[in-house]
Chain A
């Protein structure tokens, strides 16, 4: 005989090992809390990026501690530093090699706009060559600023319609 479930909380004795949720919520929860960065360290911002990964700031608290130097295994490219035109094509190729879904953080003034390098050799903002999700100001930004950017990116990912885009090319 089946009894009515009057409990408000989840009870594994009744519902078994099943949690009911929405596909978007589940996928976005997985993605946003396990965002493996591709550390595109090109200049001094990369030093701050290393500090973010180290014990004092500890990006592991946000599930992004696994710096992958292989684009195949990473979700979020952190462009940390000055992008020269010569390097820009390599940045774009590495971005192309990352498996979707993928995101980009432009860390610091140089990656965002070219910064103080108004010169013949410097790409005037990495968004001229790859789509950027979050821009971080600063020269270089404080580690907290990069953590804030990661949290902003997590909020953005949590609002995505992931399930409907899951099987799109």
Chain B
């Protein structure tokens, strides 16, 4: 039995609802949302995964249900291995998840970022505010329906907005997104628009 399988088996012994999660690298498992915190605590205390590396989320798009999945990455400084825990949010429209800040204080800003980008509310978080965008920004930028170019909105500072008359705009993509090609010579690898046939004056047909 490999280390991965042993770890999953021991977790399933404690949490029968846990299932193995498809993974190309580290051990990963799915857990129901209501058992997520207990599972994380189990990995921290019983399996020595003492370091919370990342908290993030997946938006499977509005057509899917469950729509949002919260993902925790844990690291063990004793065995130098990772484990990935994922839990689906129960509510698709107003997604919520329990906060891991009681287990790791480091979860604070990770969960604020996940809230900022996906709109997932972490219950029990001590200070759930936006962290990258500003308070009052009306969208959640990493949701599937949100375009890369952005949507019109107001500047965070209404005085500056009144003085300059500037608003947020949908960025002119002008053939973008701008990405570096793979397998090109280094001189050609600079990020550039893949389709330069269209521009602000000459919109895409």
Q: Which residues of A are in contact with B by a Cβ distance under 8 Å?
A: 85-86, 88-89, 92-93, 96, 114, 116-122, 124, 128-130
| A169 CA / B160 CA spacing, docked (Å) | 20
Q: How far is the CB of B190 from chain A (nearest CB, A)?
A: 8
Cβ-neighbour of B166 out of A96, A116, A118, A129 (below 8 A): A129
Q: How far is the CB of A53 from chain B (nearest CB, A)?
A: 27
The reply to whether B174 and A92 form a contact with Cβ atoms under 8 Å apart is no
- B side interface size, CB within 8 A: 28
Knowing A93-B160, A128-B166 are in contact, say whether A118-B149 is a contact too (CB < 8 A): yes
| A118 CA / B151 CA spacing, docked (Å) | 12
| A124 CA / B176 CA spacing, docked (Å) | 14
The reply to whether B160 and A120 form a contact with Cβ atoms under 8 Å apart is no
| A128 CA / B166 CA spacing, docked (Å) | 6
The reply to whether A129 and B160 form a contact with Cβ atoms under 8 Å apart is yes
Q: Which residues of B are in contact with A by a Cβ distance under 8 Å?
A: 132-134, 139, 141, 146-151, 155-157, 160, 163-164, 166, 168-169, 171-174, 176-178, 191
A-B contact count (CB 8 A): 63
| A89 CA / B133 CA spacing, docked (Å) | 13
Cβ-neighbour of A119 out of B148, B166, B174 (below 8 A): B148
Q: How far is the CB of A91 from chain B (nearest CB, A)?
A: 9
Q: How far is the CB of B176 from chain A (nearest CB, A)?
A: 5
The reply to whether B149 and A119 form a contact with Cβ atoms under 8 Å apart is yes
Cβ-neighbour of A118 out of B132, B146, B155, B174 (below 8 A): B174
